[in-house]
Amino acid sequence: NAGVTQTPKFQVLKTGQSMTLQCAQDMNHNSMYWYRQDPGMGLRLIYYSASEGTTDKGEVPNGYNVSRLNKREFSLRLESAAPSQTSVYFCASSSRGTEPLHFGNGTRLTVT
Amino acid sequence: AQSVTQPDIHITVSEGASLELRCNYSYGATPYLFWYVQSPGQGLQLLLKYFSGDTLVQGIKGFEAEFKRSQSSFNLRKPSVHWSDAAEYFCAVGETQGAQKLVFGQGTRLTINP
């Protein structure tokens, strides 16, 4: 029973490098989300996808792009990483409005 | 804009003692409110949620929370904490039409003294 799977678990990048964070869910959920977690700031929504084929900006979208590849997968791309993007990134999914979010275990990203 | 404030960054309680974690929110309409718990190195797990109806909601692991509209609060309580309750706790508010766009508080880290 995998739930929400994120890869990689850890990543170190140099400033200016690019990378894609992968997320897959096996619960047949419609909606998927990317959050970042920084100390003292809780979680902040980067992008979300309400349903397959749609994506929308959240609170902190600058410097990121997303792709809803299919119903299961939702990737987050950093085109040119910056030290300010050092954070823990969480992917989540949900079935419909009032159902709770299910979170992955996170990706810890360090940009030097 | 909606917002959530958790006034206590860090709380320490003794095992067996009661616990209350504070959460205040700002939201224009009837809020949907959540409490999540995060153990070290893990994702977040839902403890409980409030959408409507009874203002005292029960969750998992013996937790409960009370919605008080007049105080814009949704405080989390547990009568007797266990060492395994040590974790970080997040309050969140949001809309749930279509996708759940949640706004999280800063979190409260709970330490349990033996």
Give the range among A20-29, A73-82, A93-102, B42-51 with minimum mean pLDDT: A93-102
B41 touches chain A (CB under 8 A): yes
Q: What is the pLDDT of residues A56-65, one digit of tens each?
A: 999 999 999 9
Q: What is the pLDDT of residues A32-58, one digit of tens each?
A: 999 999 988 899 999 999 899 999 999
Cβ(B104)–Cβ(A42) below 8 Å: yes
- Among the partner-chain residues A43, A90, A97, the one whose CB lies closest to the CB of B98 is A97
Record: contact B107-A42, CB cut-off 8 A? yes
Query: Any idea which residue has 């709770």 for tokens?
Result: A100
* Residue A100, pLDDT score: 82
Distance CA B88, CA B62 (A): 16
Q: What is the pLDDT of residues B3-27, one digit of tens each?
A: 999 999 999 999 999 999 999 999 8
- The token pair at A93 is 């999914």
- The token pair at B79 is 């009568």
